[in-house]
Structure 1
Amino acid sequence: MNNARKIMVLGAGDIGRRVFHELAHSPNPRHVQLVGRDEETVLKAANLTRFCSVQRGYSNEVSHAQTDVTDVARTAERISAFAPDIIFLAVSYQSWWVISTLQQDAFQRVYAANYGPWLPMHLVPVMKAMEAVRLSGTQALVVNAAYPDAVHPALTAIGLSPHIGIGNVANNVPGITAVAADELGRSTADVEVRLVAHHYVSHRLSRTGNSGPAGMGLGIRLDGRDVTGELDVAELLNRLPGAYRRTGGLPGQTMTASSALSVLEPLADGRDAVVHAPGADGALGGYPVAIENGKFRALLPDGMTADEAHAINVSGQLHDGISEIRADGTVVFEPSAMAIMKEELGYDCAEMKLSEAEGRAREIAERFAAYRDRTAR
């Protein structure tokens, strides 16, 4: 398969394995490689994917390699050896769902801080992976799964932002599309949703049916015509946690994997597409995005300006616990969110330079481990 597109999945956790598995199941020629820190895990996952692919009649090449993303030089060597066209980063020191393993009352207290204060746990491994990307000399497109809404604008300051993110804003678009199509009595193929929303909003929608105190932008088109004003949007969204509720938590990462594939597969196949994605070209928050010749262009709801869309995402960022991401990459955290982290974990950080992020990640990990032990008693 000399013309096969080469896709490296860096990170062999739940989302990395799910996406890797699906990428191999394609009639289009591909070579997919799973890279993780544990040799046994990546070997077995790669073999499972290869065998399932063969069972279904596909013959794409499947391989694996071992590295720890914290070892920048070794990771760069792995990238150079494989020479990927696309790299999918599925690396994080602590996945979003881990706090849900706490005792319920402890979980609810920590959950109230929202996602922003946990940024170092996602930013640091992505930063190290991008250092390896730079060192390897690859020209691969890099797609990131770890909190792109905030990780990408922070890393843009040092030229290390991945090209585009996945998930978050994208995860609610199918549900909104289905609700609107059913309301209009049409197929989902006839309905186009354009959603501008930060992680904070996308995290709320399927659970509460609204964006809470943060802004969001939504346009609904039918046969290419904007019909948003003809619909009771608030009532439609309110159905998401009702009749249109779906499996959430760790099993619900099937949705995030599908969102990842909606971005990765057009890039792998060299075709244009309209998707939803956070962090495209370092953008703050999430947008509808047109993929055109491997490049990205924001595709906003009818009548919305770029400044209005940015303001919507800044609003979501604020309620996610981040007051500001400065031009030099320094992150200023929202005091009310950090107050919860201080009360529960004993962790306090008003602002963080990129050079401080690794130390902050270690501190959060240590304090969270102690908190989990303490609240489990």
Structure 2
Amino acid sequence: MTADLLLTGTGNFAERILGDLALLVTRPLRVVVAARAEEANRLNWLRVAANARAAIAGRPLEVVTEIIDWDSNTALDRLIETHRPRLVVHAASLQSPTALFSGDSAWESLLRTCTLSLSVPMQAVLADRLFAAVRRSEQTPLLVNCCYPDGTNALLKALGHPVLCGAGNVAILAAAFAGELGLREPGRLKVLAHHQNLWPWRGETAPEHFPLPRVWLDGAELDDIRDRFARVRLTLGPAIPISGATGVPLFLALLEGTDWQGHAPGVDGLPGGYPVRTSDGKMALDLPEGLDRDTAIAWQLDYEFRCGLTVADGALRFHGRLAEALAAYDADLADGFALSDFPAAADRMCRLRDRLLAQPA
């Protein structure tokens, strides 16, 4: 049987997506969740829980599972050809974001200094393999990458994958701010934000290199967002109850071809996150009046040039604070790499991580 949605991964993000789908779907929806054999027990639990929640709510959701081998092109090709999904939502990565918030190894310390931009090569490995299988097939599903899409989608796009967007991140702030203001009408609040802009609301004083987002209410940009949203406090860990939930109305709109307004990161490989709208399964930026596309992108890139990464002219380059911190451990890797060297660079990053995980900070 074909699938409406193929979801990869068994983490908390995937769990939230399945749980909310089970409560919100109004039309029959078949979801295939795929993960490695080592995650079989967790995978089966997600299936049982999602189908149970759908039964409780009386919703027409069916969740089935598949074991996949990420190292086998044949297995990935078979996954796509067997289920022929209309939408692929990728949420499996070689680097968990939880390392930003816990652990005292040299790697976790480095990651906190550099932020998730450091992990982009590792975030992209499995997505690159999965999306390559899609491109080898005759299927044309919409591709959504949820693994740090603010930075990773630029790499995936440069590697030739027609990635549509991600989920969470900018949408976390937009949803939290709208909730604080009591807004329920879509489109009234618009937020321009990178993943790093979450930090001022994580309950700690944000370092100076984490800029504030830009926020518009009913077309007027707000200049008092610190005070206006002072009571918004996100968890110090990943804000899964919000971030996973933000993807569900987006995925349903894409599958049903309905009009929808909201926010998404990594749109068409762009850095950071933006207000967006969808119609007929297509997505476009929905910027506030007076903010043009080039200015919005330049605002996102400003942070990356100071302490992140960029992808351009066939290469990935680390910048500023990130490049300086990484150079202390691997000077050659800190220079970045040609996209043609991506698999080797990602493997080198994984080996550096494994070495630093064994060292105290």
TM-score, normalised to structure 1's length?
0.85
Specify the SS of the correspondent of 1:303. coil
- Alpha-carbon offset, residue 211 of structure 1: 9.2
Aligned partners of 2:324 and 2:334 also within 8 Å: no
Structure 2 residue 232 is matched with structure 1 residue 244: yes
- Alpha-carbon offset, residue 123 of structure 1: 1.6
TM-superposition CA deviations, 1:180-234 (whole Å, max 9, x none): x2xxxxx41258211112222244444568794447432111xxxx3436x6334
- Alpha-carbon offset, residue 6 of structure 1: 1.1
Specify the SS of the correspondent of 1:167. coil
Structure 2 residue 16 is matched with structure 1 residue 18: yes
Specify the SS of the correspondent of 1:314. helix
Q: 1:70/1:18 Cα in 2 relative to 1: closer, same or farther (>3 Å)?
A: farther
- Report matched runs for 1:1-377 at 5 Å: 6-25=4-23, 26-38=25-37, 39-103=40-104, 107-108=108-109, 110-179=111-180, 181=181, 187-189=182-184, 192-207=188-203, 212-213=208-209, 214=211, 216-221=213-218, 226-228=219-221, 232-237=224-229, 239=230, 243-250=231-238, 252-322=239-309, 324-328=310-314, 330-343=315-328, 348-375=333-360
Q: 1:294/1:207 Cα in 2 relative to 1: closer, same or farther (>3 Å)?
A: farther
Alignment: residue pair count: 356
- Give 1:146's aligned amino acid: C
TM-superposition CA deviations, 1:291-326 (whole Å, max 9, x none): 11111111112211112101111112224421x311
* Partner Cα separation in structure 2 for residue 227 and residue 351 of structure 1: 39
| Structure 2 runs not aligned, ≥5 long | none
- Alpha-carbon offset, residue 359 of structure 1: 2.2
- Give 1:168's aligned amino acid: N
* Partner Cα separation in structure 2 for residue 208 and residue 319 of structure 1: 22
Aligned partners of 2:20 and 2:245 also within 8 Å: no
TM-score, normalised to structure 2's length?
0.88
| Structure 1 runs not aligned, ≥5 long | 182-186
- Alpha-carbon offset, residue 8 of structure 1: 1.0
Cα RMSD of the aligned pairs, angstroms, is 2.7
* Partner Cα separation in structure 2 for residue 41 and residue 210 of structure 1: 35
Q: How many percent of aligned residue pairs carry the same amino acid?
A: 21
Q: 1:262/1:344 Cα in 2 relative to 1: closer, same or farther (>3 Å)?
A: farther
* Partner Cα separation in structure 2 for residue 254 and residue 296 of structure 1: 24
